[in-house]
Amino acid sequence: MNAIKETNFKFEGQTGFYRGKVRDVYYFGEIMVMVATDRISAFDVILPRAIPDKGRVLNQIAATNLKATKSLVPNWVIETPDPNVTIGYRCKPFAVEMVVRGYLAGHAWREYKSGKRFICGVPLPEGLKENDKLPHPIITPTTKAAVGHDEDIAREEILSRGIVSEDDYKKLEDYTYKLFEKGSALAKQRDLILVDTKYEFGKFNDTIYLIDEVHTPDSSRYFYADGYDERQKKGEPQKQLSKEFVRQWLIENGFQGKEGQVVPEMTDAIINSISARYKELYEKMQGEPLSSINYALIMGRIEQNIVNSINSFNLEPQR
């Protein structure tokens, strides 16, 4: 099936390479070129088959949202020369992800359902149901594990362990709430509810930058606003726009990334259904259908667009 599982380019001036869970990253000194492949991960595990169109869907949604939030916080992007490519500053990431939640869903709901009333040190009221709106948005940070699973961590522990300085953490909190407010407003324009999302930050020349993707269906969870209240009153599942459907399929087939568990077979039918959902996500969030492409030409296109871009500007980044 047509999908980009990996890239193996060799560029003039390239100083390094890193293969992440779903992206291939090429370094040019203080500049990085991030290629969004079609690999897919869940429960911090890379699944064995790639999903056609997934990479360009997420990269283009991220580009739209990074541009829309640039006035709130500086971000790492210099340009997006290709639907699958983003070029930007090589920031030093903070070792935490800022997860912000406006509703009780996903991991937070699973923790609440098990009896916990504190998540990352943040208290939650009694009597909440799955997908209820929280009294106010809350930040539930996670560690950024080099290997294995990210883990919940409280603000107090982040500061006491010196993972992030107090001054920087206050800025991260402020940026997180402002970004979530903006993301919620953007979602409302598409008749969506931004349920929860994560933001990653890094430093470049002592300035904090928003990095990675923003407000995509892989980093965020959305509900359809139309019918939300009625579904909650009836105790019905909410109609979601997120990667949760992939996680649910895995859970239903006995996989949550735990030791000894095996990823269920990803048949062509499953791959096609996941790809179709990503196209639906794109159309809903971007307001236009995803264009068709010739996969036979895509690797050459990506490589040429990267070369053209790198050659068009000085590799010494603006300061």
User: pLDDT tens, 63-117?
Assistant: 999 999 999 999 999 999 999 999 999 999 999 999 999 999 989 999 999 999 9
Angle at 117 between CA 114 and CA 120, to 5 degrees: 100
* 227 CA to centre of own chain: 26
Gyration radius (Cα) of the chain, Å: 20
Pairing state of beta strands 96-103 and 45-46? unpaired
Beta bridge partners of 30: none
Phi, psi for 196 (deg, rounded to 5): -155, 160
pLDDT confidence band for 319 (50 / 70 / 90): very low
User: pLDDT tens, 182-195?
Assistant: 999 999 999 999 99
Residues 167, 206 contacting (CB under 8 angstroms): no
What's the average model confidence in pLDDT over 140-145? Answer: 88
User: Which tokens in the block code for residue 201?
Assistant: 């930050």
Angle at 68 between CA 290 and CA 5, to 5 degrees: 40
Give domain limits for the chain: 93-245
Enclosing H/E stretch for 107: helix 106-113
Phi, psi for 252 (deg, rounded to 5): -65, -25
pTM: 0.90
% of the chain surpassing 70 pLDDT: 96
Integer distance in angstroms from the first to the last C-alpha of the chain? Answer: 43
Phi, psi for 229 (deg, rounded to 5): -60, -45
What's the average model confidence in pLDDT over 263-274? Answer: 93
- Which CATH class, in words, describes the domain spanning 93-245? alpha beta
CA–CA gap between residue 52 and residue 12 (Å, rounded): 29
CA–CA gap between residue 26 and residue 33 (Å, rounded): 5
Residues 6, 55 contacting (CB under 8 angstroms): no
Beta bridge partners of 180: none
Enclosing H/E stretch for 223: strand 220-224
CA–CA gap between residue 196 and residue 99 (Å, rounded): 7
CA–CA gap between residue 39 and residue 23 (Å, rounded): 8
